[in-house]
Amino acid sequence: MISTLTRTERFLALWISMAVSICGLALAIAGREDPLLIHGLLILLFGLVCSYIVMFGYEEKAPGTERLSLYYDEPIKAGVIFAMIWAVFGMFMGVWVAAQLAWPDLAFDAPWSGLGRLRPTHTTGVIFGFGGNALIATSFHVVQRTSRARLPDQLSSWFVLVGYNMYCLIAVSGYLLGITQSKEYAESEWYADIWLVLVWVTYFVLYIRTLARRKEPHIYVANWYFLAFILVVAILHIVNNLAVPVSLGHAKSYTVWPGVQDAMVQWWYGHNAVAFFLTSGFLGMLYYYLPVRAQRPIFSYRLSILSFWGITFFYMWAGSHHLHYTALPDWVQTLGMTFSIMLLVPSWASAGNALLTLNGAWHRVRDDATLRFMMIAAVFYGLSTFEGSFMAIRPVNSLSHYTDWTIGHVHAGALGWVALITFGSFYTLVPVLWKRRQMYSPALIEWHFWLALAGTLIYVFAMWNSGIIQGLMWRTYTEEDTLAYSFVDSLKAMWPYYVARAFGGLLFLIGAIICLYNILMTIRSPDKAESRDDVPHPADLALAGE
């Protein structure tokens, strides 16, 4: 990988790695009496390993200008592998957490393995580790192909990818150590948050620079979505994480937002993390890999425009539906609820646009598990957005809130939509990246498909059942106007569903492991494809400045 960097970039990479090591050392010294020590040392180690890798390849032959005649796919390859490793880790944690909810003894009485610490490693592992790496990798691929332009340089993309994974590593290890600022999906502490800002701004700038080099007159829809994802996540992350550390030697920090405003900022963040991380970004993926695989034109350009602006505009206002019936003023709740209702149409428009694109390719859907992954993903996207808009209605939310129904909704979106679209995209992308004719084993893709679908259905149905039973038990009164059931009664009623969920999750995890295996075997297989016509616009060569 170092051989693809220019001499200047190698110098810069070394410099950045050293700077990271020094920052790590400084944190370790300042925080020597705090859990911060461990993170300081981790950062130091990470910086040293990066420095070593750069130095090791420092003297390799520098690439010539002919490199500019090819797309820069090295970081994408790494991103795909990272994503799948995080997928297996995050989903394993999910299965463990699910099993703990059925069999609490699986926490083994150690502080680091309690539910409270494992749960955020699951959410961070799957959303940021798996989802984030998948988004970074595919966005680099899509933006180059649909702009017919190469990434402007080599170093930025590596900085984004490696820096992002360092962030994930700090975050997840911190949760096991008990370092958290207790904001869901934003648990990482101030030093990790600052680092992520640097990474994310570089990502944004890199994306804009690539788009600016495009050889196409228009920017493709997928890129609108990716750009919305990158820009909005930057804003959300910065605003929600404004905090003051106890001191530079402490991991702990306190948010600047007071009371109910903190809750509102947190769920404005939380909801838009769903919207722009788990929705926009993955819609970008869908808009590229689905038509490519189906070999069909997008059903309607106009519908794309309507849904893009609808989603981008309405989502921003809907966050307060996470705080129905709380200390949040009534009017904010009404706004959240009404914008969620209006959000339904653009959401369904995207799902419909994707499914109607398959018109004329349904025979492919039948025969090709890869395309089926993406088709089912679009269906689950439609399903979870309908469910979401429904749950955002206050009286409905009074039943669903605090119950497993929310968890069912989350995973209809997370497994059915986010994970399935990613698998479909990866199966399309991997042979292209490694220039193979096809994946190592189509039969294993088929297996993965059915495991994933079965896992998702078992998970989601178990949680719907359990959630609604739970919600109803909590609101059943006796004739004397007292509650009919205690909390423990409802917990006992949940047990079979918790077991079912753990089983469904296990199927899903096995599918992900098969996927990782299939990808690795594809890379190792000797079956090279004919060189495809997959190069940037020839004019790039003439423009090459170096």
Q: Residue 162's binding partner, choosing from ligand HEM, other proteins, none, with beta-carbon cut-off 5 to 8 A by kind? A: none
Rank residues 431 and 504 by Cβ distance to ligand HEM and give the closer one: 504
Would you say 507 and 455 are in contact if contact means Cβ atoms under 8 Å apart? yes
Rank residues 3 and 486 by Cβ distance to other proteins and give the closer one: 486
448 binds ligand HEM (CB under 6 A): no
The span from the CA of 407 to the CA of 497, in Å, is: 12
Rank residues 237 and 409 by Cβ distance to ligand HEM and give the closer one: 409
Output the smallest distance, CB 167 to other proteins, in A: 31
Output the smallest distance, CB 311 to ligand HEM, in A: 8
Output the smallest distance, CB 221 to other proteins, in A: 8
How many residues touch ligand HEM under the rule CB under 6 A: the total is 47
Stretch that binds ligand HEM, among 201-209, 238-246, 247-255, 317-325 (CB under 6 A): 317-325
The span from the CA of 391 to the CA of 340, in Å, is: 9
Measured in degrees and rounded to the nearest 5, phi and psi for residue 246 equal -55, -45
Rank residues 168 and 375 by Cβ distance to other proteins and give the closer one: 375
- Please report which residue ranges of 475-526 form alpha helices under DSSP H: 487-524
Sort strands 253-255 and 243-245 into parallel, antiparallel or unpaired. Answer: antiparallel
Q: How many Cα neighbours within 13 Å face the side chain of 545?
A: 3
> Hey, what amino acid is at 369?
A
Q: Residue 419's binding partner, choosing from other proteins, ligand HEM, none, with beta-carbon cut-off 5 to 8 A by kind? A: ligand HEM
- Dihedral sign (CA 302, 304, 307, 313): negative
Rank residues 66 and 479 by Cβ distance to other proteins and give the closer one: 479
Rank residues 163 and 281 by Cβ distance to ligand HEM and give the closer one: 281
How many Å from the N-terminal Cα to the C-terminal Cα in the chain?
20
Print burial letters for 265-275: b (CB count within 10 Å at least 16), e (below 16): bbbbbbbbbbb
Output the smallest distance, CB 11 to ligand HEM, in A: 38
Instruction: Give the list of residues 6+ apart from residue 85 with CB closer than 8 angstroms, or none.
Output: 516
The span from the CA of 139 to the CA of 223, in Å, is: 8
- Chain residues binding other proteins by CB under 8 A are 145-146, 148, 216, 218, 220, 288, 291-292, 296-304, 306, 325, 329-331, 333-335, 337-339, 341-342, 344-345, 348-349, 352, 359-360, 478, 480-489, 492
349 binds ligand HEM (CB under 6 A): no
The span from the CA of 40 to the CA of 22, in Å, is: 9
For ligand HEM, the binding residues in 102-131 under the rule CB under 6 A are: 119, 122-123, 126-127, 131
Q: Residue 486's binding partner, choosing from ligand HEM, other proteins, none, with beta-carbon cut-off 5 to 8 A by kind? A: other proteins
Output the smallest distance, CB 327 to other proteins, in A: 9
Mark 158-187 with x for binding to ligand HEM (rule: CB under 6 A) and - for no binding. Answer: --------------------------x---
The span from the CA of 222 to the CA of 140, in Å, is: 11
Output the smallest distance, CB 324 to ligand HEM, in A: 7
Mark 15-54 with x for binding to ligand HEM (rule: CB under 6 A) and - for no binding. Answer: ----------------------------------------
User: Closest by alpha carbon to 345, among 320, 370, 310, 294?
Assistant: 310
Out of 27, 36, 98, 432, the only residue in the binding site for ligand HEM (CB under 6 A) is 98
The span from the CA of 351 to the CA of 402, in Å, is: 28
The span from the CA of 321 to the CA of 325, in Å, is: 9
Would you say 285 and 222 are in contact if contact means Cβ atoms under 8 Å apart? yes
418 binds ligand HEM (CB under 6 A): yes
Q: Residue 205's binding partner, choosing from ligand HEM, other proteins, none, with beta-carbon cut-off 5 to 8 A by kind? A: none
Would you say 286 and 220 are in contact if contact means Cβ atoms under 8 Å apart? no
User: Closest by alpha carbon to 303, among 371, 242, 265, 357?
Assistant: 357
Q: Residue 485's binding partner, choosing from ligand HEM, other proteins, none, with beta-carbon cut-off 5 to 8 A by kind? A: other proteins
Q: Residue 278's binding partner, choosing from ligand HEM, other proteins, none, with beta-carbon cut-off 5 to 8 A by kind? A: ligand HEM
Q: Residue 341's binding partner, choosing from other proteins, ligand HEM, none, with beta-carbon cut-off 5 to 8 A by kind? A: other proteins
Rank residues 179 and 318 by Cβ distance to ligand HEM and give the closer one: 318
Backbone φ/ψ region at 436: left (φ over 0), alpha (ψ -120 to 50), beta: beta
Three-class secondary structure of residue 538 per DSSP: coil
Output the smallest distance, CB 305 to other proteins, in A: 9
Would you say 154 and 5 are in contact if contact means Cβ atoms under 8 Å apart? yes
The span from the CA of 403 to the CA of 337, in Å, is: 19
For ligand HEM, the binding residues in 382-401 under the rule CB under 6 A are: 384-385, 388-389, 391-392, 397, 400-401
- Dihedral sign (CA 527, 451, 350, 355): positive
Number of C-beta neighbours around residue 402 at 10 A: 13
Q: Residue 411's binding partner, choosing from ligand HEM, other proteins, none, with beta-carbon cut-off 5 to 8 A by kind? A: ligand HEM
For ligand HEM, the binding residues in 277-296 under the rule CB under 6 A are: 278-279
Output the smallest distance, CB 301 to other proteins, in A: 4
* Tokens 């944190």, located at residue: 27
User: Closest by alpha carbon to 82, among 132, 11, 157?
Assistant: 132
**Treating both helix axes as pointing N-terminal to C-terminal, what angle do 301-315 and 330-357 enclose, rounded to 10 degrees?**
160
Backbone φ/ψ region at 182: left (φ over 0), alpha (ψ -120 to 50), beta: left
199 binds ligand HEM (CB under 6 A): no
458 binds ligand HEM (CB under 6 A): no
The span from the CA of 29 to the CA of 43, in Å, is: 12
Rank residues 173 and 338 by Cβ distance to other proteins and give the closer one: 338
The site for ligand HEM (CB under 6 A) is made up of: 91, 94-95, 97-98, 101, 119, 122-123, 126-127, 131, 184, 270, 274, 278-279, 318, 321-322, 340, 343-344, 347, 384-385, 388-389, 391-392, 397, 400-401, 406-407, 409-411, 413-415, 417-419, 505, 508-509
